[in-house]
Amino acid sequence: MSIERSDVEKIAHLARLELAEADMPGYVHNLSSIFDLVAQMDHVDTDNVEPMAHPMAMTQRLREDIVTETNQREHFQQIAAQTENGLYLVPKVIE
């Protein structure tokens, strides 16, 4: 299956990835070959097969509703790029 430049641009935007112009042809080419590889699945009939989301047939365990976490804000915010008054800062969000 062939991937077009416009597909790459669209998914790069969906995934919020800036791609250098020079790398664009490489991505188009490589993604196309990856989808060629993936297309090998098409030869197999999977009509009556149950999709398998998870390797183990297990069910979700439930946690007791208990608060055990304490405030670690200072610790966690040491690794943040920009904070002020306990808030994480990002470029202005326009609504």
Partner 1 sequence: MQWEVVIGLEIHAQLATKSKIFSAASTAYGAAPNSQACAVDLGLPGVLPVFNKEALRMAVKFGLANGCDITRRSVFARKNYFYPDLPKGYQISQMDHPIVAKGELEIELEDGSTKIIGITRAHLEEDAGKSLHEDFHGMTGIDLNRAGTPLLEIVSEPDMRSAKEAVAYMKKIHSLVQYLEICDGNMQEGSFRCDANVSIRPKGQQEYGTRAELKNINSFRFVERAINVEVERQIDVLEGGAKVVQETRLYDADKNETRSMRSKEEAFDYRYFPDPDLLPVEIDDAYIEAIRATLPELPDAKKMRFIDEYNLKAEDANTLTSDRGLADFFEAVVKTGGDTKLSANWVISELLGALNKGSMGLAESPVTAEMLGDMIKRIKDNTISGKIAKQVFAAMWEDEGDADAIIEAKGLKQVTDSGAIEKIVDEVLANNPAQVEQYRGGNEKILGFFVGQVMKASQGKANPGQVNQLLSAKLKD
Partner 2 sequence: MHNKTIAELSQSLAQGAFSSVELTQAYLERIERFDGQINSYITVAADEALAAAKQADAQIKAGTAGILTGIPLAQKDIFCTNGIKTTCGSKMLDNFISPYDATVISHFKQAGAVMLGKTNMDEFAMGSSNETSFYGAVKNPWDLDAVPGGSSGGSAAVVAARLAPASTGTDTGGSIRQPAALCGITGLKPTYGRVSRYGMIAFASSLDQAGPMARTAEDCALMMNVMAGFDDKDSTSIAREVPDYSVTLNQSLAGLKIGLPKEYFAEGLDNDVAGAVQAAIEAYKKLGAKVVEISLPNTGLSVPAYYVVAPAECSSNLSRFDGVRFGYRCDNPKDLEDLYKRSRGEGFGAEVKRRIMVGAYVLSAGYYDAYYIKAQKARQLISQDFKRAFEKVDVIMGPTSPTVAFNLGEKIDDPITMYLSDAYTIATNLAGLPGLSVPCGFVGQRPVGLQIIGNYFDEARLLNVAHQYQQHTDWHARAPEAFR
Contact residues for partner 1, defined by CB under 8 A? 14, 16, 53-54, 58-69, 71-73, 76-77, 82, 84-95
Q: Single out the residue of 6, 40, 70, 71 in contact with partner 2 (rule: CB under 8 A).
A: 40
State the nearest-atom distance from the C-beta of 9 to partner 2, in Å: 10
Per-residue exposure over 50-68, b if at least 16 CB sit within 10 Å of its own CB, e if not = eeeeeeeeeeeeeeeeeee
The one-letter amino acid at 59: T
Q: Report angle CA 91, 93, 69 to the nearest 5 degrees.
A: 85
User: Between residue 10 and residue 39, which ones bind partner 2 under the rule CB under 8 A?
Assistant: 11-12, 14-20, 23, 26-27, 30-31, 33-39
Cα–Cα distance measured from residue 6 to residue 24, given in angstroms and rounded to the nearest whole number: 10
78 contacts 72 by C-beta, under 8 angstroms: no
| Contact residues for partner 2, defined by CB under 8 A | 3, 7-8, 11-12, 14-20, 23, 26-27, 30-31, 33-42, 44, 46, 49-56, 58, 60-61, 63, 72, 75-76, 78-82, 88, 90-93
